A and B are shown apart, each in its own frame.
Chain A
């Protein structure tokens, strides 16, 4: 049983890595269709990664050792963060190793090295990207923590598996705090994964870049790792939104293979729907000016804090 659980945890971690490019490809595909383009195939992100891994990596003369190490650290930290999020079952030991604060911490660690790597070569674009990334995340991270704290306080646990279980077992009343937290977390997810309207993942104009500006100097396998880490992060926020707020059906509470299979199917469907929603929002919205972003993120922080306050004032003790 124990070995089984650990094996499942490992399997889940591998599954995350395998699925991440698919979600990114799906969003791109849907977006293209919405814009009346035929778009790429779903497998294009895999082909891109394969191509990049096969290519030679080059480094600027001015790059230091940190530049070489950063892609590995960024990828591994993001991967570990994702691995602790329950995908199809709540009975995995990984959720106990790293609770939701640790997940936020691991993401912050990845971001820390990503931003440092951006500054390492000493180009203006890299510094600009790093500065803006840290600026956006400085406002987004507290909002994210507040949103998940709302859930944690309701479930009396910061363990994500317990939060999900509480959601599954709890009475299905509409809690105002959950609505606020959901709204806040959606806004944070958009900002943290570098999507429109905060950042544009497909931009070709340097001055509008945030994430792309930081990894401008990377090539070959280093670039592949950075891209993959970004896709993992998108998947992480997707699974977080789906499984924490709408866990019904898509998450099992045992390790029965049949229920796990059904859960996997359902979670993929839900993620696909979320991908469509993201593609639609990216199509109808325009990118904001950088100094509009604080208003956007303050809204997220305010919503998340309102969620927390409405929980402690309205819902506790009643």
Chain B
């Protein structure tokens, strides 16, 4: 398969995604039969196209008869876009499998399934087009299509005022970010003379102007990708969408923002400077740490997962920052390792975050519950969902032999080469970022012990959860696909790193062939002496010893006699005596108390009982959002003075503006 065919397949994926949007307007029977299968098929086709482009490693371009008269839409498929097509495709495929069971739960609700299907299709179309775009104009149109259609998906449950507010916030942030990206492209276009990416690549920018473009792109894409301190909108917006949409938004849309950043900075901008690397790494580390700490404080499962997206995007940006830093200093090999680590974490996060959101959706579907404090014992009610969710938890906690560990290992390996840097300041910044990454990983494990322990283990804390039913088959299959992939990417990293090797080859002009230089068993990113990890052997050793242990001690699966819980001889515990999510996180809340806005207290109720009140607010609201909102409001109040209501004065203003602009141009 050549890249040209892959491009045609990608075009087919776009058409199928559009069709799945169109089908939603047909009668309910047709819609049910076609919409989601078409969606899954679009995902599969995108995946195939992406793998084809990665495998071949070439470039294919085409022009579409759309767009402006002097600027027809240009599309291009290369290794980088191929990789991101894979990310979008694989998750969309799994979501397409999962969604039929999930959407059936809405059949008797008030909200329009037609709108849901239509915007889901358009959302996928937008994301695919962003990845395929080869000029800034088409990129921005596709970007807006993606943002707007996801706005309607966030606002889909519009009965609650809180959801509408979250959706508005999302729209606002998406557009501020979009504006920033547009200005970034504007800088590049004014030097390149054209809006096509090809012209932008050729543009010669001074350090100052390149930095301006970089900062604009970093703000714009960072806002979409959800970096601290711009992150506060995401934990509001993503959880209120239907769960399969949350999976798409957190798992895929954030990755599209990562794609935009990589395309802009690594591909279009040309020369790289270490100052950018430091900025990206610093923001990434802070995002990772703050994301996981805020996640620990949540008890709404979907909000918690959304905060973990902040964390994981932070980890991806740590990798990208390291790559920028090392590349700018001339250490290509290490820069490539960091770049590959970031890419690997990108696909990993897409897989396990979608998997976890699907699990949250399954619980929502079966028990109508999002609050961890009401869950418990779900593993026995929903064994398959429980197993897949456990795999997601282990993967996101970066534990071997699953996929999250591989990318974190690679990131550490890159950071450990800091001694090669010439500047002492840079040498000492990199280890601090590594320390923050280590802290993040450990805290993430704590957080997912909390999630899994409170939700799936122990005893049910509410009636609905006690009676939860198994999730429908389609949902289990969708989750199973992703869980399997999490395992595969964990135990066979060399295969996947070989496959995506054409991305660094194309973007950085330098591949990472050493990673598998010692055979598929050994992952050796830098050299065999420096570091090696044999994921297949660790996995095999784990399996063999487990089986041996079970065989020796368990002698098959013997029946174990059951009794009451011992609990040190106290009275048999009731579900209410279990540790809650808030209790679990209490030590960490106390140690990191300064970083949160905590409102905690015990207040007596009317019936004489006491009630514990705990609210943890994001400090970003007080430090960033509220001041900005206040400034905007104050500015708006100043503008009000112009509004006298007299049309002649308005016309005068218009004339003055026109004259000013004419004077500026002339």
Interchain residue pairs A-B with the least CB separation, the first 8: A127-B579, A119-B453, A122-B458, A134-B446, A142-B438, A60-B565, A135-B587, A141-B442
Distance of A98 Cα from B442 Cα, bound (Å):
19
> Is A199 close to B, CB under 8 A?
no
Check if B537 sits within 8 Å of A97, measured CB to CB: yes
Residues of A within 8 A of B545 (CB): 76, 79-80
Residues of B within 8 A of A80 (CB): 538, 541-542, 545
> Is A130 close to B, CB under 8 A?
yes
Check if B376 sits within 8 Å of A122, measured CB to CB: yes
> Is B605 close to A, CB under 8 A?
no
Dominant SS among interface residues on chain B = helix
Residues of A within 8 A of B614 (CB): none
Residues of A within 8 A of B583 (CB): 127, 131
Residues of A within 8 A of B443 (CB): 138
Determine the interface band of chain A, counting residues with CB < 8 A from chain B: 35 or more
Residues of A within 8 A of B453 (CB): 115-116, 118-120, 127, 130
> Is B566 close to A, CB under 8 A?
yes
Check if B457 sits within 8 Å of A116, measured CB to CB: yes
Check if B377 sits within 8 Å of A135, measured CB to CB: no
Check if B400 sits within 8 Å of A102, measured CB to CB: yes
> Is B586 close to A, CB under 8 A?
yes
Residues of B within 8 A of A108 (CB): 397-399, 441-442, 445
Distance of A145 Cα from B537 Cα, bound (Å):
23
Residues of B within 8 A of A109 (CB): 394, 399-400
Residue of A nearest to B553 (CB): A221
Residue of B nearest to A135 (CB): B587
Q: Mark A92-111, 1 if CB is under 8 A from B, else 0.
A: 00001111011001101101
Which of A106, A120, A122, A221 is the most central at the interface, judged by chain B CB atoms within 10 Å of its CB?
Answer: A122
How distant is A297 from chain B, measured CB to nearest CB, in Å? 9
> Could you name 13 residue pairs across A and B whose Cβ atoms are closer than 8 Å?
A64-B379, A76-B546, A108-B399, A116-B453, A122-B376, A134-B446, A142-B441, A145-B434, A145-B435, A146-B431, A146-B434, A225-B553, A312-B428
- Which of A64, A121, A142 lies in contact with B380, CB distance below 8 A? A64
Distance of A139 Cα from B377 Cα, bound (Å):
29
Check if A64 sits within 8 Å of B449, measured CB to CB: no
Residues of A within 8 A of B458 (CB): 62, 119-122, 127
Which of A76, A128, A130, A139 is the most central at the interface, judged by chain B CB atoms within 10 Å of its CB?
Answer: A76
Residues of A within 8 A of B566 (CB): 60, 216-217
Check if B549 sits within 8 Å of A72, measured CB to CB: yes
Known contacts A127-B584, A142-B439, A158 near B578 by CB under 8 Å: no
Residue of B nearest to A61 (CB): B562
Check if B419 sits within 8 Å of A56, measured CB to CB: no
> Is A16 close to B, CB under 8 A?
no
> Is B106 close to A, CB under 8 A?
no
Residues of B within 8 A of A260 (CB): none
A286-303, CB < 8 A from B: 290-291, 294, 301
> Is B564 close to A, CB under 8 A?
yes
Known contacts A105-B400, A106-B400, A301-B435, A61 near B564 by CB under 8 Å: yes
Residue of B nearest to A56 (CB): B561
> Is B123 close to A, CB under 8 A?
no
Distance of A119 Cα from B395 Cα, bound (Å):
20
Known contacts A58-B563, A60-B565, A61-B565, A138 near B578 by CB under 8 Å: no
B387-424, CB < 8 A from A: 390, 394, 397-400, 405, 409, 412-413, 416, 418-419, 424
Distance of A64 Cα from B382 Cα, bound (Å):
12
Residues of A within 8 A of B528 (CB): 96
Stretch at the interface among A35-43, A148-156, A235-243, A251-259: A148-156
- Which of B533, B549, B585 lies in contact with A99, CB distance below 8 A? B533
Tally of contact residues, B, Cβ under 8 A? 81
Residues of B within 8 A of A269 (CB): none
> Is B651 close to A, CB under 8 A?
no
> Is A73 close to B, CB under 8 A?
yes
Stretch at the interface among B36-44, B125-133, B567-575: B567-575
Check if B442 sits within 8 Å of A142, measured CB to CB: yes
Distance of A59 Cα from B448 Cα, bound (Å):
24
Residues of B within 8 A of A140 (CB): 442
> Is B307 close to A, CB under 8 A?
no
Distance of A156 Cα from B430 Cα, bound (Å):
15
Known contacts A68-B560, A80-B545, A142-B439, A112 near B399 by CB under 8 Å: yes
Check if B427 sits within 8 Å of A312, measured CB to CB: yes
Which of A77, A118, A216 is the most central at the interface, judged by chain B CB atoms within 10 Å of its CB?
Answer: A77
> Is A157 close to B, CB under 8 A?
yes
Distance of A60 Cα from B561 Cα, bound (Å):
9
Distance of A214 Cα from B531 Cα, bound (Å):
35
Residues of B within 8 A of A106 (CB): 400, 538
Check if B446 sits within 8 Å of A60, measured CB to CB: no
Residue of A nearest to B560 (CB): A59
Check if B428 sits within 8 Å of A59, measured CB to CB: no
Residues of B within 8 A of A101 (CB): 409, 412-413, 533
Check if A309 sits within 8 Å of B413, measured CB to CB: no
Q: Mark B455-480, 1 if CB is under 8 A from A, else 0.
A: 00111000000000000000000000
- Which of A62, A105, A116 lies in contact with B459, CB distance below 8 A? A62
